[in-house]
Amino acid sequence: MCGIVGYVGYRDALGVVVDALRRMEYRGYDSAGVAILDGNGGIAVERKAGRLANLEAELDEAGAAKFAGTSGMGHTRWATHGAPTDRNAHPHRDCSGKLAVVHNGIIENFAPLRRELEDAGIELRSDTDTEVAVHLVARAYAEGPTAGDFTASVLAVLRRLDGAFTLVFTHADHPGTIVAARQSTPLVVGVGQGEMFIASDVTAFIEHTREAVELGQNQAVVITADGYTVTDFDGDTDVTSRPFTIDWDLAAAEKGGHDYFMLKEIEEQPTAVADTLIGHFVVDENGGRIVLDEQRLADQELREFDKVFVVACGSSYHAGLLAKYAIEHWTRVPVEVELASEFRYRDPVLDRSTLVVAVSQSGETADTLEAVRHAKEQKARVLAICNTNGAQIPRESDAVIYTRTGPEIGVASTKAFLAQVAANYLVGLALAQARGTKYPDEVAREFAELESMPKLIARVLETAPQVRAIARELAHVPTVLFLGRHVGYPVALEGALKLKELAYMHAEGFAAGELKHGPIALIEDGLPVIVVMPSPKGRAVLHSKLLSNIREIQARGARTIVIAEEGDDTVRPFADDLIEIPAAPTLFQPLLSTVPLQIFAAEVAQARGYDVDKPRNLAKSVTVE
């Protein structure tokens, strides 16, 4: 949540900052703002509620001369404390107007700090927790042991703050310096030639540099045009930060001719899955073996696990549900799938023989990160599945599989979800390999099947015109239900979530066997029900049972939209609309059946006039609990 960018260099700072905010607006679009330092002791601030376009209109009206300068920062907000209004938009300034701050996250102890400031006669002008930070730094800069020292004043205040936050400060008396810090929320430095960047996402500066530095937990950084210095909150420079090179370019973060990023990202799914699999099977004297990206778990440890937990949120949780089917089938090890937000609060039973698989696209999801830390405290081992190299969750884990999807700008996950499913299957195969529950040739055969899926996903994308036509017909309905069995059940849940996120409709996913236990009461004439059919070859019993479910709901007037394997003629008489997907092994079918549901949700949202990339009230990365 919230996009942050800071710049010091030789370019027009306003242009750099606004371009960066445009690329990071997916992180929050309740309001936006900029602060530009003129180098003559002044700082120009503009902020506006609503989309970035509202801010740009204000900037145009104010004129470029007001915002001339080569140092500045910007913010696009997803509201936590305080309504999305002009007065709550960032940046926030101190009473003198010389110091400004932008913030991502939550300052949990803001209430007593606010009272302290008010008791000192300082009038706060917003409802945010953010504003306390700028006034505290202003006081530290004006008086006491850190007086006149910008960096020391910021560090002194950081030590007083509780919560999960990224903070970036600029001061009019120090126009060539930006001081920033992170505690549990993302922050990355961009290293240029005669210029430096700081942002919550590398998409902010990828146009200008691919060289970056990932900050660690509870670290601060001072950037100038000439370089950067990383410290802990005490100012100690004996800390570790991780330089890396970004391996994708600006084009990967742009729409590529599509109306929405999400439509582009749906079409990128064959590549996303293929790239995620690359390098994970290495041929050796035994025929080959699965390898992970960052393996700090020995095969002996993998053999000794007697239980697996998968922890995740949102779409990642649905990917975890699919992991359960694969891991238990291939390894015979019991798997529990937990919502990360509930995991540590119910006191799960963990020990050294437990493997926790943490699934997070950003690698910064607050609930999942805290679940990882709880698992580590209980001596469990953690394997991360993540799309962001060097993010906090993989840094704190014992092993990592990276989903190599490039940036996913659309808030509703598409290509990241399919890549997570594929990565979870790699975890299952790695465990089966280490435990000997599958022979090497069986592991190789399963991996080869998995490698064949991108071509089949590309074939599913050819159904898009048919799916879009159905979606436009149904765009006016108030409710859509989704049914599935076995691996089709998590797919049904994911399809319902996509429709809720994008079209703001009532949508529910059910295990089809539960119909008679209550949900069938919802069936009425004309109600659309999307059914994910299993293969008649792979799960014949489940296929016949789900066919019976379709007959039951159709007899009660439902409109049945059925996703079924090509050539499955038994389902045709009971499908008002039949969407055919290629035949695939049962465990891998979700990589195909999910795709029409993504297209359906996006088209319904478009037909209803909604912004597909920026659904209301949602942000891409949830970095507070």
For residue 497, the Cα-to-chain-centroid distance in whole angstroms is 15
Q: Which residues form the catalytic set? A: 2, 620
Angstrom distance (rounded) from CA 442 to CA 588: 15
Instruction: Work out the angle at residue 501's Cα, subtended by the Cα atoms of residues 499 and 503, and round it to the nearest 5 degrees.
Output: 55
Q: Are 72 and 7 spatial neighbours (Cβ–Cβ below 8 Å)?
A: yes
- For 227, the token pair is 């370089």
Non-local (6+) Cβ contacts of 122 within 8 A are 95, 135
- What does DSSP say about strands 92-93 and 71-77: parallel, antiparallel, or unpaired? unpaired
Q: Are 364 and 623 spatial neighbours (Cβ–Cβ below 8 Å)?
A: yes
479 HSE (CA, 13 A, CB side) = 12
Helices (H) and strands (E) in the chain, counts: 19, 27
- HEC-encoded secondary structure of 424-464: HHHHHHHHHHHHCCCCHHHHHHHHHHHHCHHHHHHHHHHHH
Helix (H) or strand (E) holding 193: none
Non-local (6+) Cβ contacts of 514 within 8 A are none
Cis peptide before 91 (omega within 30 of 0): yes
Q: Which of 113, 79, 101 is nearest to 166 (CA)?
A: 101
**DSSP-assigned beta bridge partners for residue 103:** 167
| Buried-exposed string 427-447: b where 16+ CB fall within 10 A, e elsewhere | bbbbbbbbbebbebeebbebb
Angstrom distance (rounded) from CA 40 to CA 36: 11
Q: Which of 553, 554, 584 is nearest to 567 (CA)?
A: 584
| Buried-exposed string 25-57: b where 16+ CB fall within 10 A, e elsewhere | bbbbbbbbbbbbbbeeeebbbbbbbbbbebbbe
416 HSE (CA, 13 A, CB side) = 24
- For 95, the token pair is 């009473």
